[in-house]
Amino acid sequence: MTDPLLDYHNDLPVELSPPDITEYREGNSGVEYVQTMDSGTPGPHVLISAVVHGNELCGAIAADWLLQQAVEPVAGRLSVGFMNVEAYLSYDSNHPNRSRWVDEDFNRLWGPGVLADPKRRITSELRRARAVQPFLATVDLLLDIHSMQQPCVPLMMAGMVAKGRDLAAQVGIPSAVITDSGHTEGMRMRDYAAFRDPDSTRNALLIECGQHWERSAADVAKATMVRFLRASKIVENDFGHDWLKTMPAAPAQAFYKVGEIVTVESDAFIFDRPWKGFEHLAKDTLIARDGSRLITAPFDTTVLIMPSKRLHPGKTAVRLAHPISQ
Ligand SMILES: [Zn+2]
């Protein structure tokens, strides 16, 4: 049964189709739907992660494309994983929001102690996260591919420590890089353990490629993945050249930091305008009302990061960022 939180109307065009990934079920890594290719020479273990959210098709398209290339890493190890497979396999283009998760958000389970908590409700996502976790613990560099509810410029979510920004700069796209700490509701996979430890060389990025079902999201996913693999130096320098040359030149990167997470508190949360994301607002501009609470822009330049349509108590409504220098 669909989680009622996900049963809301979609009024955006659905231009992408989900690739059939069932041929990857058995895998070769010991974890279903996780493929791994070891070069046999020293280098980082790189994981490309798709469908942490089952309704975000661009990651599946990029990961499937990469696997179809049968790319052999020249150093280290390359892995490709489909995460919330049960949700993804339930995708229905007539109700494309419903397949985001089965029981709960897979991307809120990665805080200290959560997966090992014996009192935690056993959900489809908890089972899958527990199956994936030992493999994830061997990953040095993670690119987690996502998309957004609203049409918005692509955003690189670089996590809470400076090393994420540095890695985003090496990748070079997209133009907007956001330093952030995620959600009050629970920690994301990209922030798991060493990925958020400033003293560890292990590192992670989360790319938001555009609106979930717009064609360009798949192109952004592929381009970012190619450049991420090049930056990790486990593929040839010109890997993906033929495909990348079809993409427009990337503008210079700009960096932002989330300074405030707005979490829904009441049953009467309403945005003042139909924000799409990445609007730049002057300080004190009214953003939303949460019951009697007024939410206004706290920074001289306040940048809206991914305003949500799932406005239920405990969920993130929007994140508020401001420009920073790298
Ligand atoms: Zn997502």
Distance from residue 40's CA to the centre of ligand 1 (Å): 33
Q: In what side-by-side order are the strands of the sheet with 176-179?
A: 34-38, 77-82, 45-50, 141-148, 203-211, 155-157, 176-179, 254-263, 316-324, 301-305, 280-282
Residue 280 bridge partners (DSSP): 303
Distance from residue 148's CA to the centre of ligand 1 (Å): 7
Which residues are CB-neighbours of 272 under 8 A, at least 6 positions away? 286, 287, 288, 289
Under 8 Å between Cβ of 306 and 319: yes
Note every long-range contact of 114-119, with CB atoms under 8 Å and residues 24 or more positions apart, other chains counting. 114/186, 114/187
- Tell me the domain boundaries of the chain: 4-244, 256-324
Distance from residue 235's CA to the centre of ligand 1 (Å): 26
Strand pairing class (301-305; 254-263): unpaired
- Structure tokens given for 105: 């958000």
Q: What is the pLDDT of residue 159?
A: 95
Distance from residue 82's CA to the centre of ligand 1 (Å): 13
Under 8 Å between Cβ of 206 and 144: yes
Distance from residue 68's CA to the centre of ligand 1 (Å): 23
Q: What is the pLDDT of residue 108?
A: 96
What digits encode the pLDDT tens for the residues 21-67? Answer: 999 999 999 999 999 999 999 999 999 999 999 999 999 999 999 99
- In the chain, what's the furthest Cα-to-Cα distance? 60
List per-residue pLDDT tens for the chain, 326 residues long.
678 888 888 889 999 999 999 999 999 999 999 999 999 999 999 999 999 999 999 999 999 999 999 899 999 999 999 999 999 999 999 999 999 999 999 999 999 999 999 999 999 999 999 999 999 999 999 999 999 999 999 999 999 999 999 999 999 999 999 999 888 889 999 999 999 999 999 999 999 999 999 999 999 999 999 999 999 999 999 999 988 888 888 889 999 999 999 999 999 999 999 999 999 999 999 999 999 999 999 999 999 999 998 899 999 999 999 999 98
With helix as H, strand as E and coil as C, how does the chain read?
A: CCCHHHCCCCCCCCCCCCCCCHHHCCCCCCCCCEEEEECCCCCCEEEEEECCCCCCHHHHHHHHHHHHCCCCCCCCEEEEEECCHHHHHCCCCCCCCHHHCCCCCHHHECCCCCCCCCCCCCCHHHHHHHHHHHHHCCCCEEEEEEEECCCCCCEEECCCCHHHHHHHHHHCCCCEEEECCCECCEECHHHCHHHHCCCCCCEEEEEEEEECCCHHHHHHHHHHHHHHHHHHCCCCCCCCHHHHCCCCCCCCCEEEEEEEEEECCCCCEEECCCCCCCCEEECCCEEEEECCEEEECCCCEEEEECCCCCCCCCCEEEEEEEEECC
> d(Cα 83, Cα 3) in Å, to the nearest integer?
19
Distance from residue 52's CA to the centre of ligand 1 (Å): 6
Buried b (16+ CB within 10 A) or exposed e, 144-169: bbbbbbbebebbbbbbbbebbbebbe
Distance from residue 74's CA to the centre of ligand 1 (Å): 30
Distance from residue 222's CA to the centre of ligand 1 (Å): 16
Tokens 């890089």, residue located = 177
Distance from residue 41's CA to the centre of ligand 1 (Å): 33
What digits encode the pLDDT tens for the residues 205-236? Answer: 999 999 999 999 999 999 999 999 999 999 99
Distance from residue 212's CA to the centre of ligand 1 (Å): 9
How many CA atoms does the CB half-sphere of 289 hold within 13 Å? 5
Q: What is the CATH number of domain 256-324?
A: 2.40.50
Q: What is the pLDDT of residue 258?
A: 96
Distance from residue 171's CA to the centre of ligand 1 (Å): 20
Under 8 Å between Cβ of 83 and 189: yes
Fold of 4-244: Aminopeptidase (3.40.630)
Q: What is the pLDDT of residue 1?
A: 61
